[in-house]
Amino acid sequence: MWRNRNVWILLTGEFIAGLGLWLGIIGNLEFMQEKVPSDFLKSLLLAAGLLAGIAAGPIAGKLVDQYSKKTVMLGAGVVRAISVLFMLTAIETGSVWWMLVFLICLQVSAAFYFPALQAAIPLVVAEKELLQLNGVHMNVSTLSRILGTAAAGVMLVILPLNMLYILSLTAYVILLLLTWFLKIEEHARPERPAKTESKDHAGFKDVFPVIKKLPVIMMTLIMTLIPLLILGGFNLMVINISEIQDSSAIKGWIYTSEGLAFMAGAFLIKQINTKLKAYSILVSSSFLIGISQLLLYFADIPLLTIIAFLLFGFALGCFFPTTATIFQTKVPKEFHGRFFSFRNMLDRVFFQVTLLLSGFLLDSVGLQVMAVIFGIMAISMTLVFIAKFKQLPALDEPQKNIS
């Protein structure tokens, strides 16, 4: 795998793009703290961008299956780079509306880019290397997040806000250049009768029978909602913890601890999967996510806050490479574009719901009560899942059979 040129391009591109992304995210938080006083209004602003990404999902899935994955990634990269210009305009004018345009363009770009990326990964390595590559890819993404947030925190002290976005734009342009050098072999699909071919790219309705026939896919899709319950309002939670503890530094500690723990989980998942089944990994990770939220009842205590995010990060580091490998290996490749786009839309819808819910709860009951509510919901969802799906044969397959 490490001699594969495409692997190095994907990993390097992910690292550079991640730096740009997180410079922009920290810049967004800083801009909103200055211009938008209410947490609920912040969540509405972020949700508007997500809604645009959801709307683009169906056409994105069809295009990823119809056209070269590389071409779709390049097109999405151009839109992402252009979107930064709108944010620079927002800073110059002090207008939240220009930031909204930026968020919409960014999320539409993501709606095309990430399904294409997920569909491209199985095309650049052998199936037996997928779990390892997924883990490494997520670790690179997390490392870029740690460095990006740390660098952004320092830059906000010594540089004007627009410099963060100029650096972000530079990173996106470099990603475009790297993507251009990808060489992905996409084998021609077998000839089919004209009647079948006309419906070949009809949309998500072709994916639903595939999901229905594969209980492990349905099971995994449902399980992915549990971490999204917390991830939706993650940035809003970080801002509130910073306010509760009256510390700007705690934001950096939270992102760093969660990121390092994520990397540890993603690094160890290859060893863990030889001893535990996929089902056990997903359930255990979901319980850890719930426990981490319950610990945030003590969000006024810095040490317990860091422990909570360490648990949360480690759980995600085990959870996401496992789910990604299940999807890439169990879903037929000719449906990858539409499936990953559908999954992307499902994630965004639930992400949007939890984002708005987080904003509302933070304004109405506060962070600590909200964390307990989310913790109980995560654990309850896991228990319901165990009761309902434990008897499915697909869940008894060892993780090594899908890697």
32-60 pLDDT, tens digit per residue, is 777 777 767 777 777 777 777 777 777 77
77 has a pLDDT exceeding 70:
yes
12 has a pLDDT exceeding 80:
yes
What pLDDT score does 188 carry?
Answer: 47
Q: Tokens standing for 88? A: 């620079």
Confidence class for position 203, pLDDT limits 50, 70, 90: low
- Closest alpha carbon to 294 in 217, 350, 349, 367: 367
The fold of the 5-183+202-402 domain, in CATH, is Growth Hormone; Chain: A; (1.20.1250)
For residues 197 and 189, what is the distance between their CA atoms, to the nearest angstrom?
Answer: 11
Q: Is 49 in contact with 103 (CB distance < 8 Å)?
A: yes
Share of the chain above pLDDT 70, in %: 88
Count how many residues are written for the chain.
403
Cα 227 from chain centroid? Answer: 10
A 10 A CB-CB count for 272 gives: 16
- Closest alpha carbon to 291 in 263, 276, 310, 273: 310
The residues facing 277 across adjacent strands are: 398
- Closest alpha carbon to 124 in 65, 63, 183, 188: 183
331-388 pLDDT, tens digit per residue, is 777 777 677 777 777 777 787 788 778 888 888 888 899 999 999 999 998 888 887 7
What pLDDT score does 375 carry?
Answer: 92
3-state secondary structure of 21: helix
Among 13-17, 139-143, 207-211, 379-383, top mean pLDDT goes to 379-383
- Closest alpha carbon to 285 in 392, 385, 368: 385
Q: Tokens standing for 18? A: 């991640």
What pLDDT score does 372 carry?
Answer: 93
For residues 269 and 265, what is the distance between their CA atoms, to the nearest angstrom?
Answer: 6
Burial class (CB in 10 A: 0-12, 13-18, 19+), 106: buried
- Closest alpha carbon to 122 in 332, 345, 394: 332
Instruction: Return mean pLDDT, the chain.
Output: 78
What pLDDT score does 239 carry?
Answer: 80
- Closest alpha carbon to 343 in 53, 135, 101: 53
The amino acid at 178: L
pLDDT top residue among 204 and 233: 233
Question: 196: Cβ–Cβ under 8 A, 6 or more apart, which residues?
Answer: none
Q: Is 173 in contact with 83 (CB distance < 8 Å)?
A: no
206 has a pLDDT exceeding 50:
yes
Confidence class for position 186, pLDDT limits 50, 70, 90: low
Q: Tokens standing for 272? A: 């863990």
Helices 39-66 and 69-93: crossing angle, nearest 10°? 150
What pLDDT score does 197 carry?
Answer: 41
